[in-house]
Chains A and B, each alone.
Chain A
Amino acid sequence: MYGTESGPNWLGYDHATPARLRALSRTVIIISNYQIPKSIGSKGLSTMVKFDSNSDVHVVTRDYLALMARRGFSIRENVDYVLAKWKISPGGRKKNLLKIRVLHVPFARVFMDEGHNVRRANSESLGWLKYIRSPVWIVSGSSGWMPPKKWSRWVKVWEQESWATDNDMRCYTSIAFSRIQKAFEEAAGLFDPATGIPSPTCEIYSDGYDTDQLNARTEQRHLGEGLRKWSNFLQQVMIRRTHCDLIWGEPLLELPEGEMKVICVRFCDTEEKVYRNYQEAVRAAISDACRGSQHQVLGNTQTRQALMINMYRRCRIASSIPALCCIPSFKDGNWTRQDVEGCRTPETRCNSPYKAHINNIIRLSPKLLWLHDFVFNHLRSYSEASNEKLLIFSFSPTVLHCIDLVRLLLAALYLSCTLIIFSRDTYSAWICGAFRWVQLGQSPH
Chain B
Amino acid sequence: MGSAWAESALNRPKLFTEFQKSSDPQVLTGTYATMGEGATLVRAFWCILLDPDWELSRENQAIGRIHRCGQRHATTSYKLRCKDSFDEQVIAHQNAGKDLNEHAVGLPVGEIGSDPEELLAVLNQFAEQFGLDTSSSRAVGR
Contact A35 B38 (CB under 8 A): yes
Contact of A382 among B23, B45, B55, B80 (CB under 8 A): B23
Contacts of B124 in A (CB 8 A): 191, 197
How many Å lie between the Cα of A318 and that of B90 in the bound state?
A: 13
Instruction: Report A378-389 CB contacts with B as 1/0, cut-off 8 Å.
Output: 110010011111
How many Å lie between the Cα of A159 and that of B67 in the bound state?
A: 13
Instruction: Report B113-130 CB contacts with A as 1/0, cut-off 8 Å.
Output: 110110110011011011
Contacts of B43 in A (CB 8 A): 387, 389
Contact A227 B26 (CB under 8 A): no
How many Å lie between the Cα of A181 and that of B100 in the bound state?
A: 19
* Chain A, interface residues (CB within 8 Å), range: 35 or more
Contact A386 B23 (CB under 8 A): yes
Contacts of A353 in B (CB 8 A): none
Query: A245 → chain B, closest Cβ, in Å?
Result: 10
Contacts of A158 in B (CB 8 A): 106
Contact A143 B141 (CB under 8 A): no
Contact A259 B77 (CB under 8 A): yes
Contact of A395 among B31, B76, B126 (CB under 8 A): B31
**With A37-B38, A196-B136: A320-B57 Cβ-Cβ less than 8 Å:** no
Contact of B74 among A251, A256, A312, A370 (CB under 8 A): A256
* Chain B, interface residues (CB within 8 Å), range: 35 or more
Contacts of B64 in A (CB 8 A): 141-142, 161
Contact A196 B82 (CB under 8 A): no
Query: A147 → chain B, closest Cβ, in Å?
Result: 6
Contact of B68 among A184, A189, A255 (CB under 8 A): A255
Contacts of A378 in B (CB 8 A): 46
How many Å lie between the Cα of A251 and that of B109 in the bound state?
A: 8
Contact A259 B31 (CB under 8 A): no
Contact of B30 among A267, A379, A393 (CB under 8 A): A393
Contact A265 B83 (CB under 8 A): yes
User: Is A92 in the interface zone, CB < 8 Å from B?
Assistant: no
Contact of B51 among A238, A396, A397 (CB under 8 A): A396
Contact of A366 among B52, B72, B82 (CB under 8 A): B82
Interface residues of A in 305-319 (CB under 8 A from B): 312, 315-316, 318-319
Contact B130 A399 (CB under 8 A): no
Instruction: Report A345-378 CB contacts with B as 1/0, cut-off 8 Å.
Output: 0000000000000000000001100110011001
Contact B71 A255 (CB under 8 A): yes
User: Is A263 in the interface zone, CB < 8 Å from B?
Assistant: yes
The winner among A145, A158, A266 for most chain B CB atoms within 10 A is: A145
Contacts of B68 in A (CB 8 A): 161, 163, 169, 255
The winner among B51, B112, B130 for most chain A CB atoms within 10 A is: B51
Beyond A149-B131, A159-B106, 15 additional pairs, beta carbon < 8 A: A116-B58, A144-B58, A197-B137, A199-B117, A202-B141, A258-B76, A260-B63, A316-B90, A318-B85, A371-B48, A390-B28, A391-B48, A392-B28, A393-B35, A404-B3
Interchain Cβ contacts under 8 Å between A and B, 9 examples = A166-B40, A192-B137, A260-B78, A343-B6, A385-B26, A387-B43, A389-B19, A389-B26, A390-B26
Residues of A within 8 A of B (CB): 34-39, 114, 116, 119, 140-147, 149, 152, 157-159, 161-166, 168-169, 180-181, 184-185, 187-189, 191-202, 216, 227, 234, 238, 247-249, 251-253, 255-267, 272, 275, 279, 312, 315-316, 318-320, 341, 343-344, 366-367, 370-371, 374-375, 378-379, 382, 385-397, 399-401, 403-404, 407
The 8 closest A-B CB pairs, nearest first, are A144-B57, A196-B137, A163-B69, A319-B85, A248-B114, A37-B38, A196-B140, A144-B56
Residues of B within 8 A of A (CB): 1, 3, 5-7, 9, 13, 19, 23-32, 35-41, 43-53, 55-87, 90, 97-98, 100-101, 104-106, 108-110, 112-114, 116-117, 119-120, 123-124, 126-127, 129-134, 136-142
